[in-house]
């Protein structure tokens, strides 16, 4: 079953192109990476899927269901969760409150919510220790962990995460990526936006490479990692220097 299908998605910010005619799909249970340099349109695509910006044209299907007219908060209730770039945790709320809000959309009862909370806290023991701390006092890596944990509170079918390694030092990146693998191991489909190519391809089964808003390359990770065109998309074409 396909968890996500995008057909010919285009997004514009006023006169500015965000993405153009992007078609891609994600199988249930798969980890798929979206790669590309800064400004290539990766985040824009995630925002279009979660509905916080409107696509100009194209179709987005979530488990076969057309998402077109569904408002963004209802997409979350449907099981599609988006961890945005820069984590966007609620800094004035405690860690516990952030987590509770993660389960806000899923209209479960108080008991189920607290059950879910203990499940998630079991996965993220660090957060359990600091349950009552203000989230704004966490470091970057800790905030990223919180953002993932918060997303997991709603028991999502698909987790979209934008640049989880951004601004983190290498040990923290390892922790975050281990977590992502754990999340995938329990059956969550993951759509990962990442600049750090090697990192992303290590855990993703497949990847799409965006350049200037369009898909220029796609395939399974093992073959992409050695594709010279991939490095072109980041460091430019002129590998031998043309001066």
Q: Under the rule (CB under 8 A), what is the footprint of other proteins? A: 14-17, 37-39, 50, 52, 71-74, 76-77, 81-84, 88-93, 97, 100-102, 104-106, 136-140, 150, 154, 163, 165-167, 169-170, 173-174, 177, 194-200, 202, 231, 234-238, 241, 243
8 Å CB contact between 17 and 66: no
Q: Measured from the CB of residue 170, what is the shortest distance to other proteins in angstroms?
A: 7
Tell me the helices (H) and strands (E) count for the chain, helix number first.
10, 10
Nearer to other proteins, 7 or 174 (CB): 174
Residue 191 phi, psi (nearest 5) = -115, 115
Q: Which is nearer to other proteins, 26 or 200 (CB)?
A: 200
Q: Which is nearer to other proteins, 27 or 43 (CB)?
A: 43
| 234/163 Cα distance (integer angstroms) | 15
Q: How far is the CB of 28 from other proteins (least distance, A)?
A: 21
Q: State in angstroms the smallest separation of the CB of 169 from other proteins.
A: 7
In the bound state with other proteins, the residue whose beta carbon lies nearer, of 101 and 216, is: 101
Residue closer to other proteins (CB basis): 7 or 166: 166
Q: Which residues make Cβ contacts (< 8 Å) with residue 63, sequence separation at least 6?
A: 1, 2, 3, 28, 157
CB of 163 to other proteins, least distance (A): 7
DSSP one-letter string for 204-223: -SEEEEEETTEEEEEEEHHH
Q: 77: helix, coil or strand?
A: helix
Min dist CB 45 to other proteins, Å, is: 15
**Cβ-based neighbours of 108, under 8 Å, separated by 6 or more:** 116
């Amino acid at each position: 079953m396909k968890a996500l299908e995008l057909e010919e998605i285009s997004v514009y910010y006023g006169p500015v192109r965000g993405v153009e005619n992007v078609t891609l799909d994600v199988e249930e249970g798969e980890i798929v990476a979206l790669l590309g340099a800064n400004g290539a349109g990766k985040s824009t695509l995630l925002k279009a899927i979660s509905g916080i910006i409107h696509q100009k044209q194209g179709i987005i299907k979530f488990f076969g269901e057309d998402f077109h007219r569904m408002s963004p908060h209802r997409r979350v209730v449907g099981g599609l969760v988006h961890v945005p770039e820069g984590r966007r945790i609620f800094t004035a709320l405690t860690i516990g409150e952030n987590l509770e809000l993660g389960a806000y959309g899923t209209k479960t009862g108080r008991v189920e919510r607290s059950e879910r909370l203990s499940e998630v806290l079991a996965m993220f023991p660090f957060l359990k220790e600091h349950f009552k701390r203000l989230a704004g006092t966490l470091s970057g890596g800790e905030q990223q962990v919180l953002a993932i944990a918060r997303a997991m509170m709603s028991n999502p079918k698909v987790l979209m995460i934008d640049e989880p390694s951004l601004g983190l030092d290498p040990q923290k990146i390892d922790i975050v990526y281990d977590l992502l693998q754990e999340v995938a191991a329990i059956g969550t489909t993951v759509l990962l936006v990442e600049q750090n190519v090697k990192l992303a391809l290590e855990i993703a089964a497949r990847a799409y490479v965006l350049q200037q808003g369009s898909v220029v390359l796609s395939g399974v990770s093992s073959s992409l990692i050695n594709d010279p065109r991939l490095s072109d998309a980041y460091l430019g074409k002129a590998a031998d220097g043309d001066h």
